[in-house]
Amino acid sequence: MENTNLENCLVLVGEVVKPPKLSTSPAGIQHCQFSMDHKSIQNEAGMNRQAFVRIQVVATGEMSQHLTRDLIAGSKLKVTGFINRHESRNGNPLLVLHAQHIEMIN
């Protein structure tokens, strides 16, 4: 039985690492893919801890079209979406953030 109402939401602020790549699926849906770095200091058990993550972000459909024009390496943004597992070309699992909302930060 499939459960469609489980929580899966991630909000991440970071910086674009490389310019985005635009692709089109066999169904004709446009996808914009880019990598993003997040760096921060988080409090864990009363101690400060440096947090760093590089994650691949995918934006699909209408959102992807304006992203390829606006995003460059170094762009700062806030991405809200859900995470999903993808397989790399060599079969390794990757955690990917599927963007549902992207906000540019000045």
Question: Are 97 and 55 in contact, with CB atoms under 8 Å apart?
Answer: yes
Query: Which domains, ranges and CATH numbers included, belong to the chain?
Result: 10-105 (2.40.50.140)
Place of tokens 């599927």: 98
Please report the pLDDT score of residue 1 as a whole number: 55
Contacts of 105 (CB under 8 A, 6+ apart): 13, 76, 77, 78
Please report the pLDDT score of residue 18 as a whole number: 85
20-60 residue pLDDT tens: 888 888 898 888 999 999 999 999 999 999 999 999 999 98
Q: Does the structure show a pLDDT above 70 at 104? A: yes
1-16 residue pLDDT tens: 567 768 999 999 999 9
Q: Report pTM.
A: 0.86
Question: Are 35 and 17 in contact, with CB atoms under 8 Å apart?
Answer: yes
- Runs of H (alpha helix) within 1-106: 62-70
13-30 residue pLDDT tens: 999 998 888 888 889 888
Question: Are 4 and 76 in contact, with CB atoms under 8 Å apart?
Answer: no
